[in-house]
Amino acid sequence: MNPRKVDDMNKTYLLSCRGQIQLNRLALGTVCSILICLALSARGTPVIWANWTSTQTADPGSAAGTMTFGSVPVNVTYSGEVFYTSETNGQGTDYYTPISTYTSTDVTNPPLGGMISFAVGGATVDTITFSPPVSNPIMAIMSLGSPGDNVDLAFNAPFTILSTGTGWWGGGPLLTQTDNTLHGAESDGLIQFNGTFSSISWTVSPGDTFYSGLTVGAFGVVLPAPNIQLMPGTGGNATSVVLTWSNSALSLQSATNVAGPYTTLTGATSPYTNDIAIPQIFFRLQEN
């Protein structure tokens, strides 16, 4: 998201995806909130893959795990078909080989185990949920379909195929897509959903007699930025701003230029009151 400037008679904000806030000519009583993006996707940034810790075999079944970005945990839950060949991390076989099939220009580290498997397909809607939301999630696909039996995954959001090639069970045709539907017939690789997601859902076409598998990862987690409340001053103008945030694992930083450098405000805890007598100031939250 490009920075967006919003002007009113007596207030100006600069909102950006990195959660920087410009406070200038602020009016009394204004309250606003934005989103801050941590560990945004960048070439060469490692993907944090889900660590699946439990699965319940059924249709519909469930699975649960976590992803941890620095000191920020993300709960990952799955509801939908869970075939008996599903594996928690550290259990069974690492099916995500060869590495070249599960890496790309942007994804430099493949999954290291853990898999939600499915086989039947049909009316069940499969859903993965992220709490808090994540940015640019990646899905690793293992053995979608089988030779002569095409399987489709119809997603509720657009995606891009990042890589595809030979998988654990051998070589089939490469993954292909039509709009938001992924096609495979013994096909393996990575797909990416661009943007911020709290959940992804899809259905599986019926017909295959063998199981397929998947896992998910992401480049970053999206957290609420500090809420902003202006404090009264002479003549109805604001002279200070109070910032509040709920995650104590994040540090508040400030700068007089949007490009930085940013300085950690040592000892700053929520709620934090700052004098805004200077012409402009930018704030952001940063992982410790």
Domain ranges in the chain are 4-34+225-287, 48-221
pLDDT one-digit tens code per residue, 86-124: 999 887 889 999 999 999 999 999 998 999 999 877 889
pLDDT > 60? residue 14: no
What is the reported pTM?
A: 0.72
Question: Do residues 142 and 175 lie in contact, with contact meaning Cβ atoms separated by under 8 Å?
Answer: no
- Read off the tokens for 102: 């599960």
In percent, how much of the chain has pLDDT > 90?
47
Residue 11: the pLDDT is 26
Parallel/antiparallel/unpaired status of strands 72-82 and 116-118: unpaired
- Evaluate the CA torsion angle 167, 168, 173, 176 in order and state its sign: negative
144 confidence band (pLDDT: 50, 70, 90): very high
Residue 287: the pLDDT is 67
pLDDT one-digit tens code per residue, 152-166: 999 999 999 999 999
Residue 41: the pLDDT is 37
